[in-house]
């Protein structure tokens, strides 16, 4: 007849310690991570709107947990906007140059 060993009964202090560990679990971080991963999977699966919505939700949850990061991003936002405006201006100039070159080539080939 096989003998089965039973685990020892845990003491009250061990139970309290385990309960404290469960309470210290960061649910906000888990929700943010899950939303970001779920959004990425939806985006990879071709569900753009749902993936984008879930990813934005995950990013928002992550930022709520990190208010100092959100504050630093908010303060640096004007620099990002200026950089984006500069980049858009350069792209517009390049597109205008391509359009001019296209017209020149069209004139050369249609003579």
pTM reported for the whole predicted model? 0.46
Contact 82, 91 (CB under 8 A): no
Query: Domain map of the chain by residue range?
Result: 1-65, 73-111
Ramachandran region, residue 10 (left: φ > 0; alpha: ψ -120 to 50; beta: rest): beta
Q: Using the structure block, give the residue that is written with the tokens 């990061």.
A: 69
What per-residue confidence (pLDDT) applies to 23? 63
> What digits encode the pLDDT tens for the residues 21-56?
556 778 888 898 899 999 999 999 999 999 999 999
Residue 63: exposure state from Cβ atoms within 10 A (0-12, 13-18, ≥19): middle
Query: Any idea what the Cα angle at residue 78 is, between residues 75 and 81, rounded to 5°?
Result: 135
């Amino acid at each position: 007849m096989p003998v089965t060993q039973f685990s020892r009964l845990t003491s009250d202090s061990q139970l309290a310690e385990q309960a404290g560990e469960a309470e210290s679990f960061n649910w906000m971080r888990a929700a943010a991570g899950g939303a970001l991963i779920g959004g990425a999977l939806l985006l990879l699966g071709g569900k753009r709107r749902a993936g984008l919505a879930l990813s934005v939700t995950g990013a928002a949850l992550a930022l709520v947990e990190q208010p100092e990061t959100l504050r630093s991003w908010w303060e640096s936002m004007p620099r990002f906007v200026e950089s984006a405006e500069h980049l858009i201006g350069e792209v517009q100039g390049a597109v205008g140059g391509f359009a001019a070159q296209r017209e020149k080539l069209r004139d050369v080939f249609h003579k």
